[in-house]
Amino acid sequence: MNLHEYQAKDLFRSYGIPVPAGKVAASAEEAAAVAGALGGAVWVVKAQVHAGGRGKAGGVKLARDVDAVRAAAAGMLGKRLVTAQTGAEGLPVERVYVEAGSDIARQLYLSLTLNRERGRIALIASASGGMDIEEVAHQSPEKILAANIHPAAGLQGFQARELAFGLGLSGAEITQFQSLTAALYRLYLDKDLSLVEVNPLIVTRSGALVALDAKINVDANALFRQGELAALRDASQEDPMERRASEHDLNYVSLDGD
């Protein structure tokens, strides 16, 4: 089960993982009010759909005044966003996330997922953040760094430090990276996740590490003990046939045909 970005960032905040200030909105006027409350001079308006590639599809807009925030939200809400991951029909945009702009110096990639070959959780990182990680792995596999975590020992400090060095971090950035990865690992275990991804994880010009985006997939087989997460399910983002099948404990995958 997928979560929206705003839901994932709420979880990040609860685990002490730094994210920019932001709030979800269901109307253009509400989005403008959020921007006004956040303050600042630059905001980002993001369509909330269960798909990547939003930026290239017009689902992420930079706004430099409140009127631009209102216009960006109005242009997304009530529409269907078509990205490289949605198929031709796209997904409905019922909410937008309005976020304070960030002063970006570097963009990194960070995720936790299951390495099925090793039977272990893998912490994956790359200095090529903000890009399609599958494309990076295909074209430049040497840019992908990984640490496989022993289930009994858990994530070790030396593993986080080795990845931090590989990403070119130094000084206080390494300490922040260790704290952030430890928090992500706790979140992954506590909430029965199958994926937690930060793309990009930014380094600001002041040297702070901040999760600029957040993607979370919850193991559907564990929802029976994750009631709070199950309540966050957004049926509008799911294939109707797959949703009906899941209601009857059936596995169904919708595929394109001739």
Could you tell me the residue range of the domain that residue 140 belongs to?
104-218
Q: What is the mean pLDDT of residues 203-224?
A: 97
pLDDT of residue 172: 98
d(CA 31, CA 45): 8
251 found inside a domain: no
DSSP 76: H
Is 109 in the active site? Answer: yes
Whether the predicted pLDDT of 242 surpasses 90: no
Tally of structural domains, the chain = 2
**Candidate list 6, 30, 97, 109, residue with the active-site label:** 109
Q: What is the mean pLDDT of residues 223-227?
A: 96
Lowest mean pLDDT among 64-78, 143-157, 237-251: 237-251
249 found inside a domain: no
Q: Tell me which range, 65-74, 126-135, 233-242, is most confidently predicted by mean pLDDT.
A: 65-74
pLDDT of residue 130: 85
- What's the whole-model pTM score? 0.92
* Residues 153 and 113 placed together within one structural domain of the fold: yes
* Residues 151 and 206 placed together within one structural domain of the fold: yes
Whether the predicted pLDDT of 247 surpasses 80: no
E-strand ranges in the chain read 22-25, 43-47, 60-63, 80-81, 91-92, 96-100, 104-115, 120-126, 144-149, 193-204, 209-211, 215-218
229 found inside a domain: no
* Residues 126 and 208 placed together within one structural domain of the fold: yes
Residue 206 tokens, joined:
């002041």
Q: What is the mean pLDDT of residues 100-112?
A: 97
pLDDT of residue 238: 82
Closest-CA residue to 84 (of 58, 57, 61, 109): 57
Taking residue 1's Cβ as centre, other Cβ atoms within 10 Å add up to 20
138 found inside a domain: yes
239 found inside a domain: no
Choose one of 183, 202, 218: the last residue of a domain.
218
Is 197 in the active site? Answer: yes
203 found inside a domain: yes
d(CA 191, CA 205): 32
Residue 144 belongs to domain with CATH number = 3.30.470.20
